[in-house]
Chain A
Amino acid sequence: MKTRIAVQTEPFDLAEETARLSAGDVTIGAVASFLGLVRGHNRVGEDDADIATLTLEHYPGMTEKALHRIVDAAAERWPLQAVTVIHRVGELRLGEPIVLVLTASAHRQAAFDACQFIMDILKTEAPFWKKERLPDGGERWVDARESDSEAAARWLRD
């Protein structure tokens, strides 16, 4: 399986990455993609607040290992020809891309399912942490969501 995993500060381009993923492999009949963007609004407990910027911290070294392990687990469950996972770190502005997952397979179902699986497991196992800066200059770490743990657990039950 062709695998591309990157943790980077620079932005990425969906079209360019999709072309790179499937280039030269005519056995690929389906590519599914997930693109995560910096949302300008977040709810923390009862506080619904606008945010100004988002900063992504990670655990260098462990992050890359964790992403490789997640992609390998996906490849054991579905017939995949190629996978790309790109996650940005550092300070990001509203509307900018944070994360990209591309999965390529012969048929759509494997591509859809593997893409969702990789995102769901990434959300609970890859060591990234988000810190929001608010318009008034205050900062807060984002809390993990129970719904993310449930989404990941669903795959482990199935």
Chain B
Amino acid sequence: MIRVLYFARLRDRLGVAEEQLETFPPTLGALREQLAARGGDWGEAFSDRVLMAVNQEMAGPETPLADGDEVGFFPPVTGG
């Protein structure tokens, strides 16, 4: 199982802050594609630039996923 978190504008568009996935694809990029394929708001939201993190570190699409991982999806950051 992995835990998936969504933040800021992306979370507002999806209407979901957090979910647990019992089954998940082998890589972060494949997970993103799987989420985008849910259709409706999901396809649209993931067509924008979305940053990704695995276990609270920025990560690229080739990053492998393992049981217990925490995955974060969020828009480009605007702090400071």
| Chain A residues proximal to chain B, CB less than 8 Å | 36, 56-59, 61-62, 65-66, 87, 98-99, 119, 122-131, 141-145, 148
Contact = CB atoms under 8 A, between A and B. Distances in A.
Taking each of B7, B12, B57, which has the highest tally of chain A beta carbons within 10 Å of its own beta carbon? B7
Given A57-B8, A59-B5, A141-B8, A128 B78 contact: yes
Nearest to B53: A62
Given A127-B74, A129-B74, A57 B80 contact: no
B18 to A, nearest CB: 12
A122 B79 CA distance: 7
A80 B77 CA distance: 27
A152 to B, nearest CB: 11
A128 B77 CA distance: 6
A62 B56 contact: yes
Given A57-B8, A128-B80, A129-B75, 8 more contacts: A36-B80, A87-B79, A99-B80, A124-B76, A127-B7, A129-B7, A129-B79, A130-B78
Contacts of A144: 75-78
A99 B5 CA distance: 25
Nearest to B51: A127
B8 A129 contact: yes
Contacts of A127: 7, 51, 53, 72, 74, 77, 79
Interface residues of B, number: 18
A129 B10 CA distance: 11
A148 B79 CA distance: 11
Contact of B77 (A61, A119, A126, A131): A126
Contacts of B77: 123-129, 144
Contact of A59 (B7, B78, B80): B7
Contact of B80 (A98, A131, A143): A98
B20 to A, nearest CB: 17
